């Protein structure tokens, strides 16, 4: 169904009405596009585990799709690829849909992978007696993946929520892997705001005490007052419009992965992902999955509560979005998830 076909129906045929009917026939129709390119930034991260499961368990193939995955250096790069037209869909942070809609770019989420950010703020074990709360981080050095990253933004938000400014701590970029682990072990930083598997490694070795954990619903609500959507399958409004059956099949495949993850054991997950994802320590990977299991979406939906929570964060931290007025419906199309 091409855009021009819809418009031939005249003004009386609203595009929204047609779009509302898409999932009803999209389950039965033939995919408009069987070869699909998908962009992601950091595929081995647990943040994107549902994508790897969908790929390795053959859930996309079962839907008649050949999905080629391009792993970029970061989420911003995969978003650029979508806007530039070199990929069809992306698994990336939900916040990108809000930012792009605010800029007038029609980027929309079609399936949620994660309902919580999965970021942890933790202090070095030897300082745990002095630093017991986020407020106690005042005057301390805190390692983040990189300035301006999601780990630094969440740290800023946590500081504000606890009566501090981001200038009350020294943020240091420590990278996303071994460098971050070394920064804690060697005492280069007092605390970190980071993700698995770095957090899992530091926990496994007994190097940290956790202050805030958004891998869980309780920790996420403690900071944000509600859910805070994370990884999402998103694309352009034009792709959805021109490829409703393909869109439905993509969501079907991703939802099959989500369902599988809800009951999979850590051993089953470790057996499914590529060997290199285990980083030479299968037990550590299993622990990381166990710690992060709760953050994966059970239903593929971004709730209105989650949208409101994310909007508050973005308006608080980003001056450009302080007065943003982006409707929920523009950021997430729930029709395909519901049909799946």
Does the pLDDT value for residue 5 go beyond 50? no
Q: Domains in the chain, start-ordered, CATH in brackets?
A: 3-116+228-339 (3.40.190.10), 120-213 (3.40.190.10)
- Nearby residues of 313 by Cβ (< 8 Å), 6 or more positions away: 95, 153, 157, 224, 228
Q: How far apart are the first and last CA of the chain?
A: 20
User: What's the pLDDT at 148?
Assistant: 72
How many Cα atoms within 13 Å fall on the side-chain side of residue 111? Answer: 30
- Computed over every residue of the chain, the mean pLDDT equals 89
When pLDDT is averaged across residues 34-52 and rounded to a whole number, the result is 93
pLDDT (tens digit per residue) in 245-299 = 999 999 999 999 999 999 999 999 999 999 988 878 999 999 999 998 999 999 9
When pLDDT is averaged across residues 40-69 and rounded to a whole number, the result is 95
d(CA 213, CA 283): 21
CB 340 within 8 A of CB 26: no
Put simply, whether the predicted model's pTM sits higher than 0.95 gets the answer no
């Amino acid at each position: 169904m091409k855009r021009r076909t819809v418009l031939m129906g005249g003004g009386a045929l609203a595009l929204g009405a047609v779009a509302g009917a898409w999932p009803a026939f999209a389950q039965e129709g033939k995919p408009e596009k069987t070869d699909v390119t998908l962009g992601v930034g950091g595929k081995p991260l647990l943040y994107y585990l549902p994508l790897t499961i969908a790929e390795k368990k053959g859930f996309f193939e079962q839907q008649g799709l050949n999905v080629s995955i391009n792993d970029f250096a970061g989420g911003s790069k995969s978003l650029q690829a979508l806007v530039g037209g070199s990929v069809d869909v992306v698994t990336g942070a939900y916040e990108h849909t809000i930012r792009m809609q605010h800029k007038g770019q029609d980027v929309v989420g079609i399936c949620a992978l994660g309902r919580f950010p999965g970021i942890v703020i933790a202090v070095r074990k030897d300082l745990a007696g002095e630093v017991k709360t986020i407020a106690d981080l005042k005057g301390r050095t805190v390692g983040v993946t990189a300035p301006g990253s999601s780990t630094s933004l969440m740290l800023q938000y946590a500081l504000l929520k606890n009566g501090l400014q981001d200038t009350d701590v020294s943020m240091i970029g420590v990278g996303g892997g071994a460098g971050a682990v070394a920064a804690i072990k060697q005492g280069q930083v007092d605390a970190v705001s980071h993700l698995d598997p770095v957090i899992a490694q530091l926990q496994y070795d007994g190097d940290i005490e956790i202050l805030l954990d958004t891998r869980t619903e309780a920790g996420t609500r403690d900071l944000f007052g509600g859910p805070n959507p994370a990884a999402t399958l998103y694309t352009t409004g034009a792709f959805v419009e021109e490829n409703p059956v393909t869109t439905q099949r993509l969501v079907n495949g991703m939802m099959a992965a989500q369902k599988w993850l809800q009951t999979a054991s850590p051993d089953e997950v470790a057996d499914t992902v590529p060997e290199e994802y285990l980083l030479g320590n299968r037990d550590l990977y299993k622990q990381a999955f166990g710690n992060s299991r709760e953050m994966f979406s059970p239903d593929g939906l971004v709730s209105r509560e989650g949208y409101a929570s994310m909007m508050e964060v973005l308006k608080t931290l980003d001056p450009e979005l302080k007065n943003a007025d982006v409707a929920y419906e523009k950021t997430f199309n729930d029709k395909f998830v519901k049909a799946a």
